[in-house]
Amino acid sequence: MLKFVKNHMESIDGIASYPMISLMIFFVFFVLLFWWVFTATKEHIKEMGELPLDNDQPNKL
C-alpha cells in the first residue's frame, strides 16, 4: 500500500513544495501562539481559568 502511495506522489509535479508549506504554517502558528501566551495579561488568564467555575449564568438548553 505504501509503495502505491509513494509512486503516485512522485508523479505529481511540484509535490516537494507541500511539506515546506506545511512546515511554515506549523512554525507560524506556534510562533503566534507563544507570542500570545507571553503577551497575555495575568487578569485575562485568571478570568479564562475561572470561567468553567462561573455559575452566575443560567444553563442554556
Which pLDDT belongs to residue 6?
Answer: 73
What would the pLDDT profile of 8-29 be if each residue is shown by its tens digit? 777 878 888 888 999 999 999 9
- The grid coordinates of residue 51 equal 470561567
Structure confidence at residue 1 (pLDDT): 65
**C-alpha cell at position 29:** 502558528
Is pTM beyond 0.85 here? Answer: no
The full DSSP string for 40-54 is: S-HHHHHHHHHGGG-
- pLDDT tens digits for range 24-57: 999 999 999 999 999 999 998 898 888 877 776 6
- ∠ Cα 48 50 51 (to 5°): 65
pLDDT of residue 34: 95
In the prediction, which pLDDT does 53 show?
A: 75
